[in-house]
Amino acid sequence: MSDKLNRRSFLQKSTLAGASLTGLPFAAIAASDAPLSKKEGDPLRVGIIGSGLRGQGHLDLLLRRKDSIVTAICDIDERMIARSLEIAQKHNAKAPEVYKGEYAYLELVQRPDIDAVLIATPWRWHTQQAVAAMQAGKYVGMEVSGAFSIDECWQLVNTHEATGTPLFFLENVCYRRDVMAVLQMVRAGLFGELVHLECGYQHDLRGVKFNDGETPYNSGAEFGEKAFSEARWRTRHSVHRNGDLYPTHGIGPVAQYINLNRGNRMTYLTSTATKSRGLHDYIVNHPKGGQNHPNAKVEFELGDIITTVVKTAKGESIIISHDTNLPRPYSLGFRVQGTKGLWMDLNDSIHLEGASPAHRWENAQPYLDRYDHPLWKKYASDAEGAGHGGMDWFLINDFVISAREGTRPPIDVYDAASWLAITPLSEQSIAGGSQPMAFPDFTRGRWMEWENTFAL
């Protein structure tokens, strides 16, 4: 089937689905459990849409397991497809069937021999691919980013509620070892009642955003069609958008600490952007760039540092930072502060009233060791060698278990919608002179009833 026909079919189905959601009675909203339930011994059959570097990581982890197989992959990049097939060969696994073309994923999701779909494509494709997969009844794992509009967030929620098909939002930092240990501390009451939290994405990505198209990273001043991997598409967002483009690595763990969507929720935010200098300076000072390089004339909309302040229904404040265009070491900038003390991930610092020396920091590592999460104690050896310090193993493990059982995922479509909404709301706030922007209640009031069961 041609890409053109695939796209036409997709648009027709989307139109019908949108019409069916209008005026959907609350009582008619589907349950969070999917019809899928695998028998013991039957592997979960997965299709991967997007076989770039992130998709390849998921492929490798799935093929390590005895309870999952990868039936098909879909991409437009021949190099990435070839790398994925090499991974399958390394595992002595049957080569997944390959779908090529921008809309070939519409054929993949219709395969009866696929139970679940993992989406690891460039950001602008996530929602439409997730919608198509949910409409096809496939358990969906969708990679992270920020949304382009609030309407896009509602598309995810409405499609889930119309089809009853779950969506697992693949935020891996929720599974980071220190993050999960601090979750244990929060639940044990070490910090008292939480009052303020900080987080963000603080990561020098200039080498990811520019490339010469041959060597993976740190090799040029190109982006777009001439570049490699993420530099082909990610940098364009910095040209045209000014907001927190990547909020979920920070807000995901924070959401678990203060039970967002499960007894609490974000109510409004304000955002501020600095001037943009980092990407231009990188281009003109790079050996393969310079003042006369064509990209030296590009004007980047994205402020070098975006600062967002969120207020919650329970009264906590959250500061979220986006800082990817200046020279700096990596840090997600976590701070968890309550009436009895605080933890900060920078230099692993902690202070607990009555336990720490007055007005002095302690090294948090002894506490992190003492409150090491039981899942890490049990499965740390299985996670060795997995991406991002092992937390990707825990992410994929939860995805496979949830998909095999057809149950509501620990990070669900309502989390996805509210976390993704930070991006368009921050863009609107900045454009309006840091105006407060209200969060929609994607749960339709059910946040007041739901309880947080993440990693219990």
Stretch 13-26: mean pLDDT = 37
CA distance 163 to 421: 22
The two tokens of residue 100 are 């090529």
The proportion of the chain whose per-residue pLDDT surpasses 90, expressed as a percent, equals 86
255 pLDDT band, cuts 50/70/90, is very high
- Chain centroid to CA 337: 24
Contact 158, 16 (CB under 8 A): no
- DSSP for 110-175, please give it: T-TT--EEEE-S-GGGHHHHHHHHHHTT-EEEE-----S-HHHHHHHHHHHHHH---EEE--GGGG
pLDDT in tens, 322-344: 999 999 999 999 999 999 999 99
Please state, as a whole number, how many other Cβ atoms lie within 10 Å of the Cβ of residue 409: 24
- Of 74, 99, 96, 77, nearest to 85 by C-alpha is 96
Residue 8 has pLDDT above 90, yes or no: no
Distances (CA, A) of 95 to 70, 128, 137, 219, 224: 8, 26, 24, 32, 30
> To the nearest whole number, what is the mean pLDDT of the chain?
91
- For residues 273, 277, 279 and 281, what is the CA-based torsion angle, rounded to 10 degrees? -170
Contact 133, 108 (CB under 8 A): no
pLDDT in tens, 311-323: 999 999 999 999 9
pLDDT in tens, 103-133: 999 999 999 999 999 999 999 999 999 999 9
Contact 283, 295 (CB under 8 A): yes
CA distance 272 to 249: 19
pLDDT for 41: 78
The two tokens of residue 232 are 């082909």
Helices 248-257 and 177-188 cross at an angle (nearest 10°) of 30
Return the half-sphere exposure (C-beta side, CA atoms, 13 A cut-off) of residue 173.
22
CA distance 211 to 208: 7
pTM reported for the whole predicted model: 0.91
Residue 11 has pLDDT above 90, yes or no: no
pLDDT in tens, 44-80: 999 999 999 999 999 999 999 999 999 999 999 999 9
Tokens 């509501």 sit at which residue?
A: 408
Helices (H), 308-444: 365-370, 374-379, 391-405, 413-420, 422-431
Q: Residue 450, SS3?
A: coil
35 pLDDT band, cuts 50/70/90, is very low
- Structural domains for the chain: 174-378+413-448 (3.30.360.10)
